[in-house]
Amino acid sequence: MAETSQKALQQQILIDDSNIPDWLLTEILQRLPVKHIFKFKCVSKRWFLLISDPFFARLYSTRINTSLSTSQPWNLLFRYLYEVRIVPSSMIDTRIALKQSQDFSSPGFSLNFLPYSKHDSPIKILASSNGLLLCCETFYWQKNYYICNPLIQQWIALPKPPKAIKSVAVGFICKDDHYEVIRFPTANYGPSSTLRLETFSSETGKWHWSIVNCPVMDYYIKTDSPVVHYNGSLHWLEFRHSKIITYDPHNGTNTRLHLMNLPDDRQSEHLSLLGVSRGRFRYFEVTDTCFGPRDLRVWVLSDNDAQRWCLEYRIKFSGSWIDEVNEFIPKDNFYIFPLALHPHEFDIVYLGYGGCLVSYNLGTRKLDVVHRNFYSHQLLAFVFSPWPTTIPQPFW
């Protein structure tokens, strides 16, 4: 009898919140981690209405931005893993390399809620924008695209593109409730200076294609080259002419790709990447691979219109790392490659070194091992919005 009364009392405590005013319940809910808040929508109709109110979202975002100053939560994600055979089974679904935020504190963060993630090969992360991820099932011949919010595990599948293309450069832009996916071939070997560009818009729910001009006829973009969204335009590294290909989907008639210069004094053709740190566009390279002096260099774009780059850091590996990595990584010559830029800290970069993912502080010369037995050459600095971006339900 006593046990029955205790259970009834517990149920009453959990369910009856009629004596709690809305303002106080709102104050309580907005202090919870955002991934839990969306689950609490199911508690009652009242909680659902409070959390779904746009006022609650604005209040939550304001509190997060104030408490974090200017730094939004973020994490490093594995974009994809190349050979499943050599990767431990425990890593197949693992996406987090750096546990930077409380919302990603669990080691099991993955994309296994997507329909394709149950297959042998993990799904590929192509790009991110405004807290959403663009994913695809395959590396080549991409046709099944998904847009998802990993925090609240919401996702939609896009209609298949109109044409099968073996290798495409992909861009993704999300603003408010509208998003676009842009793709075009990664290489052009023909005599024509035009190419076919395909765009999916959530406003129309359809793919449409157009013929756009390219400044060079024989451009080449690596299939795994990540896209960078900066100043309203999409940016891809182009390797045959050592340029940056840019495209602004909202500029006039959108009939042309543009070329942007890289730093004149760069040296590396392939061990390089683009990124954005604290709103500044940067170019990051590692010179040489195994023998001789190895330099780490970072430039910042100081003038976008004039395409003027300023060298921020130039550090020789041999003189600054030996003492610091001795207890973590053997001092033999290892393959070193750039992986990512810290989205909020100018001084911190991420590298693959000695079979490990390491963070390196350019100012203090301090190196830290973030992840051992590192198998991927592709990382994505995923910054999510203070309040999760919801994906409108598809009407197609």
**Domain of 278, in residue numbers:** 74-383
- Looking at the structure, tell me whether residues 195 and 291 fall in a common domain: yes
Q: Are residues 81 and 58 in the same domain?
A: no
Within this chain, do residues 60 and 147 fall inside the same structural domain, yes or no? no
**pLDDT band at 334, cuts 50/70/90?**
low
95 and 34 together in one domain: no
Q: Is the domain of 28 the same as that of 151?
A: no
The answer to the question of residue 6 being in a domain is: no
In a domain, 1, yes or no: no
pLDDT tens digits, one per residue of 238-275: 999 999 999 999 886 667 899 999 999 888 877 899 99
Q: Are residues 138 and 251 in the same domain?
A: yes
CA angle centred on 271, ends 220 and 130, rounded to 5°: 75
pLDDT in tens, 154-207: 899 999 999 999 999 999 999 888 999 999 999 987 777 899 999 999 999 999
- Which helix (H) or strand (E) segment holds residue 8: the answer is helix 2-15
Cβ neighbours for 133, distance < 8 A, ≥ 6 positions apart: 77, 111, 125, 127, 147, 148, 149, 150, 382
The SS3 of residue 49 is helix
Residues 99-115: tens digit of each pLDDT: 444 444 444 466 778 88
**Is 197 inside a domain boundary?**
yes
Cβ atoms 38, 152 nearer than 8 A: yes
Residue 32 has pLDDT above 90, yes or no: no
Domain end, chosen from 66, 93, 125, is at: 66
DSSP secondary structure letter of residue 257: -
Burial of 164 (0-12, 13-18, 19+ CB in 10 A): exposed
Q: What is the mean pLDDT of residues 25-47?
A: 81
Looking up residue 222, the CATH number of its domain turns out to be 2.120.10
| Domain match, 264 and 323 both | yes
Same-domain pairing of 133 and 39: no
Q: What is the pTM of this model?
A: 0.81
Point out which residues pair with 223 in neighbouring strands: none
Pair (60, 79) in one structural domain? no
Average of per-residue pLDDT across 279-305: 84
The residue that leads in pLDDT, 127 or 78, is 127
Q: Name the band, by pLDDT with cuts 50, 70 and 90, for residue 51.
A: confident
Indicate whether 53 and 197 sit together in one domain: no
With respect to residue 164, please indicate whether it lies within any of the assigned structural domains.
Answer: yes
Percent of the chain with pLDDT over 90: 34
Q: What is the mean pLDDT of residues 79-103?
A: 46
Residue 5 lies in a domain: no
Same-domain check for residues 86 and 161? yes
